[in-house]
Amino acid sequence: MPETDEPLQPASSASPPRILIIGAGSRGRSYADAVVTATNGVVVAVAEPDDYKRNHFGKTRIWGSQSPPPEGTAFADWRDFIVYERQRRARAKDGEEGVPPGVDAAFVCVLDEMHREVVVALSSLGGLHIMCEKPLATTLADCIEMYSALRNNNIASGEQALFSIGHVLRYSPHNTLLRKLVLQDRVIGDIVSVVHTEPVGWWHFAHSYVRGNWRRESTSAPSLLTKSCHDIDVLLWLLCSPADCSAQDCPPPHLPSTVTSIGSLQYFKKSRKPAQAGNATNCLSCPVEAECKFSAKRIYVGPELRGLESRNTGWPVSIVVPDIEDYKSDKEARDALLKELARDYDAETPDTEIARRNWFGRCVYESDNDVCDEQVVTLSWDDDPLSETDKTGGRNAKTAVFHMVAQTKKICDRYTHLYGVNGEIYADSFTITVEDFRTGQTTVHRPPIESRGHGGGDIGLARQFVLAVDKVKNYGWSTDRAQREIVGCTVEEVVRSHAMVFCAETARQGKKVVNWHEWWETEVQAKLAEIRA
């Protein structure tokens, strides 16, 4: 395994980008830490409804021991920030002295279903650069509305503000090298097919998609979106986008022709429940809890995985009890954790109450989950040369297969096989192995890892986004240039990769092969035109 390198931090500017974090959960904290350790920005404000999370975040990252927090640094609701910022701008415009400076950019790290409302509101405020955690939104309609709003989010110069999405896989050293080898160096020539797998992990899937936030499509979204939208994005990044995305006159993307998908909830359902468990619905009252690999006590309390007794108070333990670090003794922390795991519901509990919160002690075979735990997506491309004389350049027919699977030992350690006309590549999460058919040579690359957060992707994304903000704020760059050269992804690409997920769901639910171009025109372009009208 490659060594973890220290994050690279750009030199500070005279007026560093000022960052607001909206949502102080695990993703908000991760991006805030990435901003501090790997960018030339500074986190100056937080919006978070949970008092403990907001105050802990602020004390450890913004205002320290100062009480009360300075003006403009703490908001109990993101709407409070919108109101405050409008008033702050008005005060500054009126020449009032002592008005605190505003923020330059916001990281949106709230619940997935809240993304649309927050991003649209920030866009209507105008002037703020936005990074939104993935997925962009939980419905295609919301994605399209956000697309329209973002195109009208202009900074003082009249240019469209910067936008980035939490597709962190694009920004890991591993994947940036893989893309260079495939598209720029063309080490295996034209790609013929790709098989990409995301092994979610048996207990990780149970935590997040059976007991946790993303277990129900009605309150979240399909698991292909919530878990794997950036896997679909990486495939499009490798197989659609031009090798150099920084040029203004870069060629159009080579888009798939067809999309199909199969998948279902195969394992985490009542029919799989061991007979010995009887009528138990909660691990703490189950007669076979000690023998069950999905025991909540084993996952969250015990020493085997990442439980409290392994000296871990971070994820996933902190998701169950957010203030776990504040308990004075191990016993108090353990008791609080067990109390939370003992919570359960029965047939008399209203569904609205069940859907409202997570149930981390619930039997995985008796939960209210309905998202796929196994899914395959197949994309196909036709030959599409740029001109009559262009018969090369990677725009030939090819196929990509994506597999999301829950029952794995690996926890999100993705692996990819790429088959080309001159060789093949096997890339796991740590190495990239190139087999050259022409020379018989095997070359193994071991990219550095800056952090464990998506192989350095969390840090890479934060660094690039804040650097783009810095170039616009302090160095006179246009937002178009910074978007292309530093962020490396346009708003249209973001919407397209999400639309591809919704298209795959259309194919899965209808058990059919979908024509991508026709679907995009009907479901995205036509709807966007309606909004403009």
pLDDT of residue 394 exceeding 70, the answer is no
Given a cut of 60, is residue 326 above it in pLDDT? yes
Instruction: Round the average pLDDT of the chain to a whole number and report it.
Output: 93
How far apart CA 104 and CA 471 sit, in angstroms, is 12
Q: What is the pLDDT of residue 125?
A: 95
- In DSSP terms, 205 is beta-bridged to none
How would you write 138-191 as a 3-class SS string? CCHHHHHHHHHHHCCCECCCCCECCEEECCHHHHCHHHHHHHHHHHHCCCCCCE
Q: Is the confidence at residue 15, as pLDDT, over 70? A: yes
- In sequence order, what are the residues at sequence separation of 6 or more whose Cβ sits closer than 8 angstroms to the Cβ of residue 257? 380, 381, 382, 515, 516, 517
E strands, 364-523, are: 374-381, 398-405, 415-420, 423-427, 432-436, 442-445, 514-515
Residues composing the chain: 533
Q: How confident is the model at residue 387 (pLDDT cuts 50, 70, 90)?
A: low
CB burial class (10 A; 0-12, 13-18, 19+) of residue 159?
A: middle
Closest to 433 measured CA to CA, from 214, 424, 9, 325: 424
Q: Are 287 and 366 in contact (CB under 8 A)?
A: no
142-186: pLDDT as tens digits: 999 999 999 999 999 999 999 999 999 999 999 999 999 999 999
Whether pLDDT at 3 is above 60: no
Q: Write down the residue that tokens 């292309």 correspond to.
A: 484
Domains and CATH numbers, the chain: 18-169+459-489 (3.40.50.720), 173-267+371-448+494-516 (3.30.360.10), 270-356 (no CATH)
pLDDT band at 1 (very low <50, low <70, confident <90, very high): very low
Angle at 170 between CA 227 and CA 225, to 5 degrees: 20
Query: What was the pLDDT predicted at 453?
Result: 56
Average pLDDT of the residues in 263-268: 98
Mean pLDDT for 99-119 is 96
Q: Which residue has the higher pLDDT, 296 or 242?
A: 296
Residue 320 makes CB contacts below 8 A (sequence gap 6+) with 300, 337, 340, 341, 358, 360
Through-space distance between the first and last CA atoms of the chain, rounded to whole angstroms: 54
Which helix (H) or strand (E) covers residue 339, if one does?
Answer: helix 330-341
427 pLDDT band, cuts 50/70/90, is very high
Residue 452 binned pLDDT confidence (cut-offs 50, 70, 90): low
pLDDT, one tens digit per residue, over 437-451 is: 999 999 999 998 765
What does the block give as tokens for 213?
């936030």
Q: What's the token pair of residue 313?
A: 């108070």
* Sequence letter at residue 199: P
Structure tokens at 296: 């909540």
The answer on pLDDT for 525 being more than 90 is yes
The SS3 of residue 493 is helix
Higher pLDDT, 145 or 392: 145
Phi/psi for 469 (5° steps) reads -60, -45
* Distance from C-alpha of 466 to C-alpha of 20, rounded to nearest angstrom: 12
Comparing CA positions, the residue from 382, 397, 377, 444 lying closest to residue 193 is 397
Within 312-390, strands assigned E span 374-381
The secondary element (H helix, E strand) that includes residue 519 is helix 516-520
Position 14 scores a pLDDT of 86
CB 136 within 8 A of CB 123: no
- What does the pLDDT average to over 309-323? 94
| Average pLDDT estimate for 192-217 | 97
Q: What is the DSSP letter of 213?
A: T
Pick from 262, 131, 265, 253: which is nearest to 497 by CA? 253
Q: CA 275, 277, 282, 287: dihedral to nearest 10 degrees? A: 180
> What's the pLDDT at 242?
76
Six-digit token pair at 291? 């023998």
- Mean pLDDT over 295-314 rounds to 95
Q: What is the CA radius of gyration of the chain?
A: 24
**Cα torsion angle, 328, 334, 335, 341, sign:** positive
> Residue 362's pLDDT is what?
98
What are 264's strand-pairing partners? 374
Give the predicted TM-score (pTM) of the model: 0.92
What local confidence, expressed as pLDDT, does residue 2 receive? 45
CA 281 to each of CA 114, 244, 295: distance values in angstroms, whole numbers, following the listed order: 30, 54, 12
H helices of 393-490, where? 457-474, 479-482
Task: With beta carbons less than 8 A apart as the criterion, state whether 136 and 225 touch.
Answer: no
pLDDT at 269 exceeding the cut of 80:
yes
What are the CA-CA distances from residue 262 to residues 190, 372, 380, 523 (Å)?
27, 10, 15, 21
Q: Which two tokens stand for residue 286?
A: 């189950």
Phi, psi (deg, nearest 5) at residue 94: -80, 0
pLDDT attached to residue 390? 55
